[in-house]
Amino acid sequence: MLIAPSILSADFAKLGEEIRAIDKGGCDYIHIDVMDGMYVPNITLGPVVVKAIRNETEKVFDVHLMIEEPSRFLEAFADAGADILTVHVEAAKHLHGTLQQIRALGVRPAVSLNPGTPLSMVEPVLGDVDMVLLMTVNPGFGGQKFIPYSLERIRMLAEMRKERGLDFLIQVDGGITLGNVEEVVAAGVDVVVAGSAIFNAPDVSEAIRQFKERGVK
Ligand code: DX5
Ligand code: ZN
């Protein structure tokens, strides 16, 4: 299992320091939540901030775009240093074209689904993505509660992957804690995003270590 701390729950007044702490703590990806106040009811950060923090770490930048019509900003985020660009199936008018555009920029394409979106919506593009992100809360804010039905969705997606002989990663995001990480990994998850569970812990390195320990399949 790979661990991707979400910096949404970090202290933005000392973002560089927070990023160095999760880097040193052994995280795999750094999950960066981009929100536009339209697709989700919150606003966070854009390419300028991604570029600024790119100097702080060599870790994989896993950029989760919660924005309307993400194709407008793919190049800006690629130039800023994104390694993975995740777009929402509900927000991209031409999903297949958008994923191709990400690949052409030399970035790993991923697609995300909200808890109420049927898995069949991404079925046509499963062969075109490196990762599928299942939202396990409704997007917009950190610190929400994991939606239990998500476990069934993880199992269904893992089954679809197996049936089609594909190898995209399955990522979950929202409400993941030390209390449920074992369960989601057992259901088929490869990459776990955790925001509040890591940044609100007394020691971020220790929290990452405990997640990794519990996430061994
Ligand atoms: C929610 C974001 C998440 C969020 C997760 O819209 O996509 O990445 O930061 O936070 P926790 O782990 O606190 O639920
Ligand atoms: Zn996210």
ipTM over 0.90: yes
Q: H/E element holding 160?
A: helix 150-163
**Ligand 1 neighbourhood includes 196 CB (under 6 angstroms):** yes
Residue 139 has pLDDT above 80, yes or no: yes
Nearest-ligand number for the alpha carbon of 211: 1
Q: How far apart are CA 80 and CA 72, in angstroms?
A: 14
The answer to whether 64 is annotated as binding is yes
In the predicted model, what is the mean pLDDT of the chain?
Answer: 98
Cα–Cα distance measured from residue 130 to residue 191, given in angstroms and rounded to the nearest whole number:
12
For the CA of 144, the nearest atom of ligand 1: 14
- Atom of ligand 1 minimally distant from the CA of 177: 12
Tell me which residue of 191, 145, 201, 128 sits closest to 111, measured CA to CA: 128
163, pLDDT greater than 80: yes
8 A C-beta contact, residue 65 and residue 33: no
Q: How confident is the model at residue 204 (pLDDT cuts 50, 70, 90)?
A: very high
168: helix, strand or coil: coil
| Separation of CA 39 from chain center | 16
β pairing state of 169-173 and 84-88:
unpaired
Those residues whose C-beta lies under 8 Å from the C-beta of residue 47, and which sit 6 or more positions away, are 73, 76, 77, 79, 80
Single out the residue of 72, 68, 73 nearest to residue 47, CA to CA: 73
Mean pLDDT of 7-27: 98
Nearest residue (by CA) to ligand 1, atom 6, is: 139
Mapped onto helix, strand or coil, the DSSP state of residue 143 is coil
**Helices 15-24 + 47-54 axis angle, to 10:** 50
Sheet strands (E) in the chain? 2-5, 29-35, 60-66, 84-88, 108-113, 131-135, 169-173, 191-194
Instruction: Give yes or no for residue 202 having a pLDDT over 80.
Output: yes
48: which 2 tokens? 């300028």
Does any ligand 1 atom lie closer than 6 A to the CB of residue 64? yes
Q: Could you tell me the distance, in angstroms and rounded to a whole number, from the CA of residue 181 to the centre of ligand 1?
A: 14
Q: How far, in Å, from the CA of 33 to the mean position of ligand 2? A: 5
Percentage of the chain beyond pLDDT 90 is 99
Test site for ligand 1: of 3, 7, 9, 133, most ligand atoms within 8 A of the Cβ: 9
**Residue 194, ligand 1, Cβ within 6 A:** yes
Pick the CATH number of 2-214 from 3.20.20.70, 3.40.50.800, 3.90.1150.10, 3.40.50.300: 3.20.20.70
Q: Where are the domains of the chain?
A: 2-214
Question: What is residue 214's three-state secondary structure?
Answer: helix
Q: Which pLDDT band holds residue 190 (cuts at 50, 70, 90)?
A: very high
Q: How confident is the model at residue 213 (pLDDT cuts 50, 70, 90)?
A: very high
Residues with catalytic annotation?
Answer: 33, 173
pLDDT band per the 50, 70, 90 thresholds, residue 87: very high
Ligand 1 within 6 A of CB of 174: yes
* pTM attached to this predicted model: 0.98
Alpha helices in 87-149 (DSSP H): 95-104
| Residue with tokens 């990994």, as numbered in its chain | 185
Ligand 1, atom 9: closest residue by C-alpha: 142
How does 53-70 read in b/e, with b if 16+ C-beta sit within 10 Å?
Answer: beeebebbbbbbbbbbeb
